[in-house]
Structure 1
């Protein structure tokens, strides 16, 4: 099955973009809740994730980002990337690869960067339907927050479809 992809923003031929690859993670705990991050400063929700370091494996990047942003250790599910989001914004061309993962341990504290602390990032575990409602109802106070909201709703929708397919097969 082909990976679903969507483009956000419009490529401007007169802009020289900084290239970046990133990961996003839809992580489930044993209760079926997912990890969701709230960015207090700009009033939006996002999936855990971030940039892939040079030479870093995408799966390892997904696990690292989950650990950094939530303190959680996860196992990324078989089957690989479930969806990609290509973004053109503010001189950035980013491709985000989305994975589904399962929680193994959440006993560690997050290790947020100074920027993430300034953004007021906090994670929580919510039922999938509540996470989707929270994301949809958020009213971001920045263009970046609005962009992230649109991207992550798309990725969460794709993960929901994949999760539903897996349940129907089992």
Structure 2
């Protein structure tokens, strides 16, 4: 089983690996997409009542960077350029029967005039993206009370990711 380096800085394990379960490995990306105004993209998910950062699964034969760019465009309509900091954090989740490693990136918004192209599942879940300051986004994510176990995993993951991103954002200001 592929495992992220749990000794690396900015690595968080969410959930507990159950030795009696078999897990499907999944790699994904998370992106803190920053506008020059200081606002970031954040997605509210009505079904489950939680907020998330743009991101999703890495497809076969796709690099983490390409997946990050694609997911932001699909979920927000924005075109972004990844910062040269590379992956600034990873999370490793054991949820249900999935072992997911998320690779987290900072990006600058190049164009935010596009429209999202959400999947039927994302539309059914009520995905709505919005732009808010980093502090406001962290506050909204932290205050949300997810109504599903999945939402609770996402909240823990993305609050961690955004809190780690803040140091990198402040350092580049």
Please report the TM-score for the alignment, with normalisation by the length of structure 2. 0.94
Counterparts of 1:23 and 1:99, CA distance in 2: 8
Counterparts of 2:44 and 2:86, CA distance in 1: 26
The answer to whether the aligner puts 1:129 opposite 2:135 as a matched pair is: yes
Question: Per the alignment, in what secondary structure is the counterpart of residue 45 of structure 1?
Answer: strand
Counterparts of 1:62 and 1:110, CA distance in 2: 14
Per-residue CA shift, 1:78-124, capped at 9, x if unaligned?
02100000000000000000000000011211000011001100000
- Any stretches of 5+ residues in structure 2 without a counterpart? 1-7
Counterparts of 1:72 and 1:166, CA distance in 2: 21
Question: Per the alignment, in what secondary structure is the counterpart of residue 102 of structure 1?
Answer: strand
RMSD over aligned Cα atoms: 0.9
- 1:38 maps to 44
Contact 1:28 1:102 in 2 (8 A): yes
- 2:57 maps to 51
Counterparts of 1:162 and 1:78, CA distance in 2: 11
Please report the TM-score for the alignment, with normalisation by the length of structure 1. 0.95
Counterparts of 1:79 and 1:150, CA distance in 2: 23
- 2:81 maps to 75
Runs of 4+ in structure 1 over 2 Å off: none
Counterparts of 1:107 and 1:134, CA distance in 2: 24
Question: Per the alignment, in what secondary structure is the counterpart of residue 22 of structure 2?
Answer: coil
Paired residues, number:
166
- 1:105 maps to 111
- 1:91 maps to 97
Per-residue CA shift, 1:23-58, capped at 9, x if unaligned?
000000110100000001111000000000012111
How far off is 1:13 after superposition? 0.9
Contact 1:3 1:81 in 2 (8 A): no
Contact 2:32 2:105 in 1 (8 A): yes
Contact 2:85 2:106 in 1 (8 A): no
